[in-house]
Chain A
């Protein structure tokens, strides 16, 4: 079972506040996890990743948290900006390169 799930199809946040996007997985064999952002008519754009042996990775406004016991990861965006409005995908990755994607969460950041 290689499922990655994003249970919230959409999220709306006020500009300047924190956006928290969540992702659950069932396969303990993932070697790493990634978050991608996608605008309409474009391909996924890499945001941030985390190794399965870490519990946190931070890059500017983006932080990813990994809770292995709960098989849960989250992406925090602080502060949120209107340009962050997009579809966000989490993905589990194997060292072979194969990625398993979640369904995506549409984030809307309101000015």
Chain B
């Protein structure tokens, strides 16, 4: 079964450095998402992306965050200047279309550790 793949599985970065988290969504999917889960907390929505632009973003997704689909397969999340509180699991998800009976499929996540 096709799956969403995320790399790296674990990223360790110094505070203030830029980090790029990479995702390869399922190939025929059109809608892409990033979520994060801080240890011990809920999975939180960050951003949705469709047709090469952001559809919706949460208040967490401030100017330090950006997303990009640089080619036909990758979907990236960039954090420009990381803070300690950015340490979390980051999940990428994709969906074929916008209908509610089509669930989002999640990758296994990237654990981001900010030192």
Contacts and interface: CB of A to CB of B under 8 A. Distances in A.
A-side interface size class: 20 to 34
- Looking at A34, A41, A44, which has the most chain B CB atoms within 10 Å of its CB? A44
B42 A51 contact: no
B31 A97 contact: yes
A31 B100 contact: yes
A93 B43 contact: no
Interface residues of B, number: 28
Contacts, number: 65
A97 B107 contact: no
B33 interface: yes
Interface in A32-70: 32, 34, 36, 41-46, 49, 51
A42 B6 CA distance: 11
B108 A42 contact: yes
Given A42-B108, A43-B106, A101 B43 contact: yes
Interface in B22-81: 31, 33, 35, 41-45, 48, 50, 55-56
A103 interface: yes
Interface of A: 31-32, 34, 36, 41-46, 49, 51, 89, 91, 93, 95-104
23 contacts: A32-B100, A36-B106, A43-B91, A43-B106, A43-B108, A44-B43, A44-B106, A46-B105, A49-B103, A89-B43, A91-B43, A93-B100, A95-B98, A96-B98, A97-B48, A97-B50, A97-B56, A98-B33, A98-B48, A99-B43, A99-B45, A103-B42, A104-B42
